[in-house]
Structure 1
């Protein structure tokens, strides 16, 4: 065949060499060996482009790489029919040699066997399903146990299918090629079934798993229509992805070269792309009101559908072009925020164990915050690890190398971890403070020790919350800067110098803050108490670091800096003694008046309206002084702060009525008019005196 003398005159191979050559040819004809040789060749051929792709290239270099990839795909498209015919011949020979049914019929037969095993489990577990359906969600623990029991049942349901299909198939001996094909597609079916169980667990569409009230077990809070839509679509997409992965793997087993396999993979990817676009356009939309437009309510539904369509098409094009780094960056950029939002909503839906605030909304609990923030940290760290692997960044090697870029990257990672940890601690502290404040929303008995403790807690905790927030923010910034390689010691020293300068320039503000600290340490006043200081008086509504907000009883509000308060008169502590006087005539029987007033005090003491606020009953102290027109009787009672006015009005009304019934008349001023003007002047004086007495009587009757 060749004209080389060496080969023309060479000796003929001996029988031993001929046997070795024949064994080599038989080994090359083996489909698995041929597949391995082709994959090794593909890996070798792809090593150089991959090495070039990992280096920064110019626009011209990118165009060259793209043209080479397009050329390979066109070659694969032209070679696909011949590769398919050759693979079909290999598979036909394998089936004829094993005298077994075709793999497609075996897959269908063992899928049917799996469905039969699944039906048997369904029938045997009817009691289990009835018990799960009868569970009541009285507490968070009950809800978690019921959802876990339902997940366990769904997992066992799929395990029964896997044992009936895969397990039953593997119990027999098959040729390697047939075994790999059937096992691969049965495994894809099992993956599809597991995906349906997972989405049934998360979304729980109505009637899923044979449960009539399946929506009670829903983890992700969505509507019934959305749950049904996404459970079906996501299950189909996962199933198709599993089918495509198995198919591409089996093409390599059947001896397909890399370009034809890539053509098949991208063609199967088009179906996955269409499934995603169809799911986006046909998804149930939530019609929001104009007052609650939602997070992206200003963007129309159609515009959002087009945006996601362009996004999915862009992902497919990046995958086809082999630009895997931009592909994974785009996937993480869209998936990470969505995953974090779904985790937050799911945790809030599962762990609704917090206290309800004044607006009826549930506050998250400590466990809810820990789980939500912990899962969020895991998602962020996982995204970082994935991107590091895609971008060929060795996270373990960052610490062993020393360059400006690596130091910055190492510092950024450390700063991110610090911020996540401080964010977790701060949210736990905030939840604890909010829960404690929520427990103090309901008032207790006026003047009781529990009520005083409640007022003090509602006074101090908001200030503590603000101080801790500032402290956490400062610590987080300092630690993050330190991890980035910034020397924080000069910053702290500079901050001290700036603080001193600000202190000299803003002495009033510093004085307000320090004065407020001493007022709080002295427990001078609390939220809800009525205080008076100079010309300022009112009910304490809230605090800031430098001022107190007072609400006047007529509605006006004062914002008073702490340094301007001075001496504070607290009118809402412990008890109040209210004193009042009544003027009666000089001829009044004082002992009789004392008995009447004492009786009125006892009646008020047993009155349900005033018994809770009365500390000491009304009693007369005696004659306070001799007035110009009568005797001035002095009385007093002790009551809860803030309630003395209501009791005083009732007491005066009862005293006036009792005095009138017992003939005790109020004192009237006597006016004597002397002169020579006659009876007209005297009549005018008597008329003026009568009007004055009527005014006094009307004032006493009105309280």
Structure 2
């Protein structure tokens, strides 16, 4: 063994010496030494075979092994680096050659297609003892199918009798339609299982192993698979029961698509069966390329269905949801063309794989599975939207806020369903191509693992984002609709009731939570790509410090806002006054708040500039009303009228829950030159006082009219002396008119009264 190692080492060192001699002029001081132990040094100019042999003889076994391993590593590295990397153009040319080769080969072999197929039939006939044997085999197959179908029919008839499956005609609910269609689907599948068991038992009984090799693929691909497809299509399309149909499509297109789905499956099964049949009977697939032509017919068939039924497919994708978005409309319009593209790309993929000699991947039908699920993705999306429309609880309350929350809830459920559906479809497609996601997770190596981890992190982060948004939006809608505020209350002049404390904080909490989720999962996803996020975190810390020092006013606004919210100083919808600026709190953000004045202007006030805040909408409101009556009115009579009105309104459903104290009289407030000013007051919930005030005004006016009480008016009285009373009536009227004109002129010359504020 030692002699063998010495010999190999001698050869390797000789090659090192020869190369070193060639480089002696540029590297005159190069030496060779062992990495594991001290080895003899030798000048490159002295690298003769005798010197190398002498040096190896003086080296220990460990030194020889170290030199050998180093040389082998160098040889491997040199061979790897010597291969020129393949350019993008070269790869494109190779893929084009792989794609075009099967097509050109199939065209070249068209002349031998029919003769070779006849040869396969001849070999098949000869292997079964001639025409008589083949006819006998077909007779046995017909007998097996007849018995299996009869047994299946009997079992399904028995199930129909004991389960009463038929649904009544007419309008059906979603639950009723799903129940009936699912039970019918289960009966069909159970019948197919019985059919399969019967065929298997009779096949093993009546057929020999050679006959089974023909009958089993024939029944499986040409009968079993199309019937499975028909059961699924019948569950979804319900071509003969439009009242139970789960998709929004007319009878014409439902029947058309149902028939041709079965046709596509039959043609796809024929591709696999014919290729297997020819290979079994002495005609390899490469001889005729018949599988290529039949497989291409499958994609042409799908393109024919998509183009012919494009109106029905768009109608099915659009659905009957009244809350469709622009994305849903666009998806419905492009779905037929999407189906054409999927069929064409699948054909290109299959041709390329054949050119790359990857035919084994196609024998299991992975390309058909991929095409099926890609075509089903938009259909699944339509189903998700339909289920969400039926499963989401109805809108709570009325108004724009409740409607917006309802729509946000629906869209959140739809988006979550889409993410889950895409993940499931990708898992099914990768499984069809024998790619195990579990093994990918366990191996955790290479760019594939990085991309997969990145995608999974993004999906999980998106689901968390949507879940948090959905929860907070639902709570916000419940809080806003629980207030019971009408649009009339929202349009009041001032002092309306505000929202709850939770509904005020929830929008800020939603924005904060969404930002935190985006940052956390964004950093995690970037880390999963193999990028070091430590510099990003350090940069974020430095940027935070810079913002903190450079934007102290911003920090003051944010901190002040936090403490105002903690103190519950205001809520959305409440009417407040800030340093002379009045308005209803319309919107709050992290830095500022917006006040809507009762005349329309919007004031934006940073929290840091609020020295004092007065809230007019907290807990209760006292409304005081003034009525001017003539001097001869009995105040006690007015007091009784006010008390009666207050007691009556406390018993009415519309007002009783809004009163905190009933309407009552406060007696005579003042006396002026017109009459007596009598004041009344009541206490009510914030935001309800204006509606109550309107009703009180109406009732007081009616009650005064019933009791003969007039409201005082400004008038001019002219007192005539006793001597003037003896004058004729015409002269008395002239004197009265002159006095009224003088009084009116004096009133016009008096200074104008000061304007009144919002409180009157």
- Which TM-score tier does this pair reach, normalised by the shorter chain? 0.7 to 0.9
1:349 maps to 386
Distance across 1 between alignment mates of 2:620 and 2:301:
75
2:220 maps to 187
Q: Is 1:276 matched up with 2:302?
A: yes
Give unpaired runs (5+ residues) of structure 2: 1-84, 319-324, 396-402, 487-495, 721-734, 754-759
Distance across 1 between alignment mates of 2:375 and 2:189:
26
Q: Trace 1:315-334 onto structure 2 (pairs within 5 A).
A: 315=349, 317-318=351-352, 321-322=355-356
Q: 1:423 aligns with which of 443, 450, 462?
A: 462
Instruction: State the TM-score, normalizing by the size of structure 2.
Output: 0.67
Q: Deviations over 1:494-544 (max 9, x none)?
A: 112112222344444444433333333333333333333345433334433
How far does residue 185 in structure 1 lie from its aligned partner after superposition?
0.8
Distance across 2 between alignment mates of 1:332 and 1:567:
69
2:509 maps to 464
Q: Trace 1:282-681 onto structure 2 (pairs within 5 A).
A: 282-285=308-311, 296=330, 311=345, 314-315=348-349, 317-318=351-352, 321-322=355-356, 339-351=376-388, 352-357=390-395, 358=403, 363-364=409-410, 372-383=418-429, 389=435, 395=440, 399=444, 406=446, 408-440=447-479, 442-444=481-483, 455-583=500-628, 589-625=634-670, 627=672, 631-652=676-697, 654-655=699-700, 658=703, 661=707, 666=712
Distance across 2 between alignment mates of 1:470 and 1:690:
67
Say whether the 8 Å CA contact 1:370–1:424 is kept in structure 2.
Answer: yes
2:255 maps to 228
1:699 maps to none
Q: Is 1:120 matched up with 2:154?
A: yes
Distance across 2 between alignment mates of 1:64 and 1:690:
106
Distance across 1 between alignment mates of 2:93 and 2:366:
23
How far does residue 419 in structure 1 lie from its aligned partner after superposition?
1.2
Say whether the 8 Å CA contact 2:465–2:517 is kept in structure 1.
Answer: yes
Say whether the 8 Å CA contact 2:113–2:289 is kept in structure 1.
Answer: no
Q: 1:238 aligns with which of 265, 269, 292?
A: 265
1:92 maps to 126
Q: Deviations over 1:247-292 (max 9, x none)?
A: 32233332333522x6231132233233223212212415799x96
Distance across 1 between alignment mates of 2:252 and 2:407:
25
Q: Is 1:176 matched up with 2:194?
A: no
Describe the shift of the 1:332–1:541 C-alpha distance in structure 2 as closer, same or farther (beyond 3 A).
Answer: farther
Say whether the 8 Å CA contact 1:143–1:350 is kept in structure 2.
Answer: no
3-state SS of the aligned residue for 1:573?
coil
Distance across 2 between alignment mates of 1:89 and 1:586:
127
Q: Deviations over 1:621-668 (max 9, x none)?
A: 334455566554443211222232343344345546655745687486
Distance across 2 between alignment mates of 1:138 and 1:96:
58
3-state SS of the aligned residue for 1:615?
strand
Q: Deviations over 1:290-323 (max 9, x none)?
A: x969654898899778756754654564355347
3-state SS of the aligned residue for 1:171?
helix
Distance across 2 between alignment mates of 1:410 and 1:310:
30
Say whether the 8 Å CA contact 1:583–1:666 is kept in structure 2.
Answer: yes
Distance across 2 between alignment mates of 1:362 and 1:249:
53
Q: Deviations over 1:584-616 (max 9, x none)?
A: 566654444433433343344345553332221
How far does residue 196 in structure 1 lie from its aligned partner after superposition?
1.3
1:685 maps to 742
Describe the shift of the 1:581–1:333 C-alpha distance in structure 2 as closer, same or farther (beyond 3 A).
Answer: same
Q: Deviations over 1:102-135 (max 9, x none)?
A: 4344334433333333333343333367435259
Distance across 2 between alignment mates of 1:140 and 1:362:
23
Give unpaired runs (5+ residues) of structure 1: 1-53, 697-702
Describe the shift of the 1:65–1:669 C-alpha distance in structure 2 as closer, same or farther (beyond 3 A).
Answer: closer
Say whether the 8 Å CA contact 2:346–2:371 is kept in structure 1.
Answer: no
How far does residue 474 in structure 1 lie from its aligned partner after superposition?
0.5
Distance across 2 between alignment mates of 1:162 and 1:505:
78
3-state SS of the aligned residue for 1:610?
coil
Describe the shift of the 1:121–1:618 C-alpha distance in structure 2 as closer, same or farther (beyond 3 A).
Answer: same
3-state SS of the aligned residue for 2:309?
coil
How far does residue 577 in structure 1 lie from its aligned partner after superposition?
0.8
Q: Is 1:157 matched up with 2:191?
A: yes
Say whether the 8 Å CA contact 2:177–2:244 is kept in structure 1.
Answer: no
Say whether the 8 Å CA contact 1:616–1:639 is kept in structure 2.
Answer: yes
Distance across 2 between alignment mates of 1:245 and 1:331:
11
Task: Give the paired residue count.
Answer: 618
